[in-house]
Structure 1
Amino acid sequence: MKKDSKKLDKIGQLGPFFELDKRRQKAVILLFEDELTDEEIAKNVQRRRSTLDNWKNDDKFKAAQEQYKKLVVKKDFESKALRELVNLLNAKSEMVRLQTAITILKMSGMMSDNSTPELDKAKVRKANAEADIARWRADKLTGKNKSDDSTVLVDDIGDVEDE
């Protein structure tokens, strides 16, 4: 096992990778490093090639491979990628700056994948309009909408009946 792999084991010991026995964990790591053939990996973990093939077809083993890949990528590249994104906020191209800002906001959880600034503004306008309609309906029920100078709201979304 490489030195980096031992450090990685201390990051967070929950999930499918950490539920595997040491031999399977070592096989996941060696498969990820992609430096040995499957035959060499099987020998390295003191198992037959057919056993390694069976492991590779096991759902838990596959999930462990995915988890290990994410842990390694996060550990080795996440901070570098974020630094690069911060640098791109100063790019000459307005489009590059916009895409960079959106990416950073998505990474921080402040923006979803199907979100754009325009869509977010439209959602806020819709929420405000719905709040206005709800307030008007409540006022109508309590009789606060009876004055002659009241504003008439047209609701083409729902089915409000006039009294």
Structure 2
Amino acid sequence: MDERRRKAVRLLFEDELTDEQIAEAVQRRRSTLDNWKNDELFKAAQQQYNHLVVKRSFESRALKKLVDLLEAKSEMVQLQAANSILKLSGMLSDNSTPELDKAKIRKANAEADIAE
């Protein structure tokens, strides 16, 4: 991605300028910026940039808060914090429960037996 598009991604994330001002800042027409905004690669770059900025700025604070919430008075809050931490670590998925995981294993074994 060229420098103009990268700059447009940054300016769009900052959300301080109008699209017209952003187009002017990258020395392109507003219609060009509109075309970029509809381009899949440009959209992917925006998502990646958003992810990186949020990760750098808030990830450690959010994790510290989750750890603090493990000691909350409410057991429901403790449980939600524990689930969030386990999901972030990859040990638990949104669709995962011990019973569901066992059922998935049984199904996979049954399918393997049928395939043989």
For the superposition of Structure 1 and Structure 2, which TM-score range results when normalised by the shorter chain? 0.7 to 0.9
Aligned partner of 2:98 in structure 1 is 120
Report how far residue 50 of structure 1 moved: 1.1
Under a length normalisation based on structure 1, what TM-score does the superposition of the two structures give? 0.61
Number of the residue aligned with 1:10: none
Structure 2 residue corresponding to 1:77, chosen from 55, 58, 72: 58
- Structure number, greater radius of gyration: 1
Q: For 1:121-160, what aligned pairs fall within 5 Å after superposition?
A: 123-124=101-102
Distance 1:95 1:43, change over 3 A: same
Indicate the residue corresponding to 2:81 in structure 1: 100
Please list every run of 5 or more consecutive structure 1 residues that lacks an aligned counterpart in the other structure. 1-19, 132-163
Which 5+ residue runs of structure 2 have no aligned equivalent? 110-116
- Structure 1 residue runs of 4 or more that deviate by more than 2 Å after TM superposition: 121-128
2:61 partner SS:
helix
Does the C-alpha gap of structure 1 residues 126 and 76 become closer, same or farther in structure 2, counting only changes over 3 Å? closer
Deviation at 1:127, TM superposition (A): 6.0
Q: Which of 9, 13, 26 matches 1:32?
A: 13
RMSD between superposed Cα atoms in Å: 2.0
The count of aligned residue pairs is 107
Matching residue of 2:113: none
- Among the aligned pairs, what percent are the same residue? 67
Query: Normalization by structure 2: what TM-score?
Result: 0.84
